[in-house]
Amino acid sequence: MRRLLLPVLVGLTLLAAASPAAAKDIHVDCDAPVAGDGTAAAPFNSIAQPFDLRPDHHLLFRRGSTCEGTLRVTSGDNGAQPASVGAYGSGDLPKIVGAGQDAVRLSDVSNLTVSDLDISNPGPGGPLGEGDQVRNGIRVTAQSESVRNLTLSGLVIHDVNGDLTKNGDGSAAIQATVTGSGSIHFQNLLVKGNRITSVSRSAISISGTNDLTRPDADQPWPAASTGVVIEDNRIDLIAGDGIVPRGTDGAIVQDNIVSRGNLAGRPLLDPEGPMCNAGIWTFRSNNTVIRGNEVFGMEHNGCDGTGFDVDYRQDGTIIEGNYSHDNEGGFVLLCSDETQHRADVRFNLSVDDGTMINHGPCGIAEGIIGDLSGIRMYNNTVVSPSPTVSLQLGLVDEMFMPGDFRFENNLVFARSETGQVPCGERCSHNAFFNLPPSGDLALFGDPLLTGPLLAADGKAAASGFRLKSASPLRGAGIPVTGGGAKDFFGNPIPKVPSIGFDQTPLAGPPTGPNKACKRARTARTKARNQVAGLARQLRKLRRSGAAPKRIRPVVRRLGRARSEVKRQHRKALRTCPGGATRS
């Protein structure tokens, strides 16, 4: 009889001590030989029971210990005084090793900080991306009420071998999902300073609302999650996406490092279905700011693999001051849309990415095509062996459905001579080196960068791509209405910006083009516009099957116009500083 009662008494002791009325510190040491009462002298030795934390209660795991199973935390009182989950003692972080869907599970818990834990959920093993079950490192849900003031920081999350489900019920290192309906959401969710590695599918996945009726970004959206900040996280070796906030309004994703993602990507026509992932992006969201991040080593594997992504079903997105390099899928993916779709891609540095712009109708499976209207790409510096514009890495001579897409004040630098890149109908005041200029009022020639032009890890490498004091790109841009306040390096944007991501001011007044240079530029612009008009006229005549006698005069005029462009080009090279001349 005594043996039968002992497990029952231990279980009752654990359950009672997990939500004490008076104690503020609850201690757990899963390596302890016997179960205690939760004090430092006699800690719990199991996480089998959920912990119901009250305000100002602190659930502490002994450093150096290992708990297996699922750590479940609920909250019986969401008072203003925050509770916490963390560590005590000295040594390595305490380990929580999951053996099911979640290693750590937070359900409807507000006013809580979770930190200083080593979390894994390895499953049966096998290569990353081949797991057959949903697995999460830490899963947060808001089911019956909104979750407020939740912080996840200082966590080490690794070896989460989940399946490739891509939604709020899928696999991730950190999965925060609103599962309730109506206006339930997250408010003030901070994910900061975590180290995440070897995870399938996503590193950080936020699903902030079940309200599918997203308004335009300048309209209120009460059901969206707000105050979401994801910053200073280090993410590496991810089967799918790096960071994706969904269902949010005003989310900030800043100062994170994401590397080696999309490892389990699959092509669009793969028999098992496409598997497309990017480093940092957002979806079904408004007013997202993605800034100061570094993304590198994204694989393509047949779909996406870009550092950043302006997807469809979003509005008011800003991607600024980021460093993208060595991503097979390219710097940025631009998706067309049929609804309001505003986004600024500005003051970023892209070095040796697979393509400058990957773009297309990402929502075509849902019948969404549209165009790129509302997207502005300005004051970026792009350096690669051969900058290109592509449709899923298939090179294109013209942009797909650009609409009023704007491409301005960008420096496109080819390490070796290559062909012209398309940039839409509203393309002006850009600079090109080692490739023919595109658009109107372009500069081409040596931009005079400081060097070295190396794609090294760490944002300090960006200093090699600054403008020299004599660079002809200084003060050669065009003001952008509603543009950013600071450049990549934190410098204020002058009234007349320079071309590229660097707006560092000179000690003295900038050296601008002289009058002869300006006249040569104007004359050549006029000649180039004439060439463009005649070329369009010639294409129309040929497509309509016009008679040769109508075509020959246009061909002769086009030849003379091209000769005039070359003449004015040679004149500009003689008169403009640095030899870089505006087309």
The confidence score (pLDDT) of residue 544 equals 84
Q: Confidence band (pLDDT; 50, 70, 90) for 394?
A: confident
Flag whether 19 is in a domain: yes
Amino acid (one-letter) located at 422 = P
- CA angle 291/413/495 to nearest 5° reads 55
Indicate if 130 and 189 belong to the same structural domain.
Answer: yes
CA 282/CA 341 separation, integer angstroms: 13
Q: Are 137 and 119 in contact (CB under 8 A)?
A: yes
Average pLDDT over residues 361-371: 93
Global pTM reads 0.87
Q: What is the pLDDT of residues 16-32, one digit of tens each?
A: 444 444 448 999 999 99
Placement of tokens 């080819």 in the chain: 414
Percent of the chain at pLDDT > 90 equals: 75
Query: Rounded mean pLDDT of 452-461?
Result: 92
Is 499 within 8 Å of 473 (Cβ atoms)?
A: yes
> Do 507 and 525 sit in the same domain of this protein?
no
Give the containing element (helix H, strand E) for 174. Answer: strand 172-178
Does residue 338 belong to any structural domain of this protein?
yes
* Per-residue pLDDT tens over the stretch 307-365: 999 999 999 999 999 999 999 999 999 999 999 999 999 999 999 999 999 999 999 98
pLDDT of residue 576: 65
Residue 290 belongs to some domain of the structure:
no
Q: In angstroms, what CA-CA distances link 291 with 114, 184, 257, 380, 484?
A: 25, 28, 11, 13, 11
Q: Same domain for 73 and 144?
A: no
Is residue 294's pLDDT more than 60?
Answer: yes
Query: Which alpha helices (DSSP H) does 230-290 contain, by range?
Result: none
Select from 486, 512, 538 the last residue of a domain.
512
CA count, 13 A, side-chain hemisphere, 555:
8
Q: Is pLDDT at 250 greater than 70 in this prediction?
A: yes
**Cβ atoms within 10 A of the Cβ of 525, count?**
17
Q: Which residue type is seen at 160? A: V
Residue 25 included in any domain: yes
State how far Cα 575 lies from the chain centre. Answer: 42
Q: What tens digit of pLDDT does each residue of 397-424 get?
A: 999 999 999 999 999 999 999 999 999 9
Could you tell me if residue 114 is inside a domain? no
* CA atoms of 381 and 461, how far apart (whole Å): 13
User: In terms of domains, do 335 and 468 share one?
Assistant: yes
pLDDT value of position 509: 52
Beta carbons of 440 and 455 less than 8 angstroms apart: no
The phi-psi region of residue 173 (left if phi > 0; otherwise alpha if psi is between -120 and 50; otherwise beta) is: alpha
More confident residue, 271 or 21: 271
CB atoms within 10 A of CB 567: 14
Exposed e or buried b per residue across 163-195, where buried means at least 16 C-beta atoms within 10 angstroms of its C-beta? bbbbebebbbbbbbbbebeeebbbbbbbbbbbe
Whole-angstrom distance, CA of residue 161 vs CA of residue 126:
8
Nearest of 413, 305, 303, 417 to residue 365 by alpha carbon: 303
What is the dihedral sign for C-alpha 134, 135, 136, 142? positive
Residues 52 and 180 in one domain: no
On whether the CB atoms of residues 217 and 316 are closer than 8 A, the answer is yes
Res 574: pLDDT: 66
Helix axes 515-543, 548-575, angle to 10 degrees: 160
The residues that bridge with 455 in the sheet, in sequence order, are none
What is the average pLDDT value for the chain, to the nearest integer? 90
How would residue 6 be classed by pLDDT, with cut points 50, 70 and 90?
A: very low
* Domain identity same for 62 and 159: no
Statement to judge: residues 62 and 205 lie in one domain: no
pLDDT of residue 16: 41
Residue 76 has pLDDT above 90, yes or no: no
Quick: pLDDT tens for 478-518.
Answer: 999 999 999 999 999 999 999 999 999 986 554 556 677 77
Helix (H, G, I), strand (E, B) or coil at 550: helix
Q: Are residues 87 and 125 in the same domain?
A: no
Q: H-helix or E-strand containing 96?
A: strand 95-97
Instruction: Give the C-alpha distances (Å, rounded to integers) separating 355 from 316, 396, 419, 517.
Output: 24, 11, 13, 33
Minimum mean pLDDT among 5-14, 62-71, 282-291, 556-565: which range? 5-14
**Burial classification of residue 354, based on how many CB atoms lie within 10 Å of its CB (0-12 exposed, 13-18 middle, 19 or more buried):** buried
Instruction: Give the total number of structural domains in the chain.
Output: 4
47 is in which domain, residue-wise? 1-97
Residue 285 in any domain: the answer is no
CA distance 26 to 336: 52
**According to the model, what pLDDT value does residue 299 have?**
97
Same domain, 496 and 519: no
H or E stretch including 75?
strand 71-75
Cβ proximity of 447 and 411 under 8 Å: yes
Clarify whether residues 323 and 471 are in a common domain.
yes
pLDDT tens-digit map of 159-197: 999 999 888 889 999 999 999 999 999 999 999 999 999
Question: CB–CB of 252/232 below 8 Å?
Answer: no
Residue type present at position 505: P
Please report where in the chains the tokens 């079950």 appear, as a residue: 133
Same domain, 457 and 395: yes
Q: Output the six-digit token pair for 404.
A: 């009023």
Q: Please compute Rg for the chain using Cα positions.
A: 28
User: Do the domain assignments include residue 482?
Assistant: yes
Q: How far apart are CA 345 and CA 335, in angstroms?
A: 13
Q: pLDDT at residue 65 above 90?
A: yes
Mean pLDDT of 98-102: 96
* HSE value, Cβ hemisphere, 13 Å, CA-based, for 6: 5
The residue assigned the tokens 């540095």 is 349
Q: Tell me, yes or no, whether 373 and 448 share the same domain.
A: yes
Q: Which of 484, 512, 540 is the last residue of a domain?
A: 512
Residue 130 lies in a domain: yes
pLDDT recorded at residue 577 = 56
Domain boundary among 478, 494, 512: 512
CB 208 within 8 A of CB 185: yes
Is the omega angle on the peptide bond into residue 201 within 30 degrees of 0, that is, cis? yes
Task: Tell me the C-alpha distance between 32 and 27, whole Å.
Answer: 11
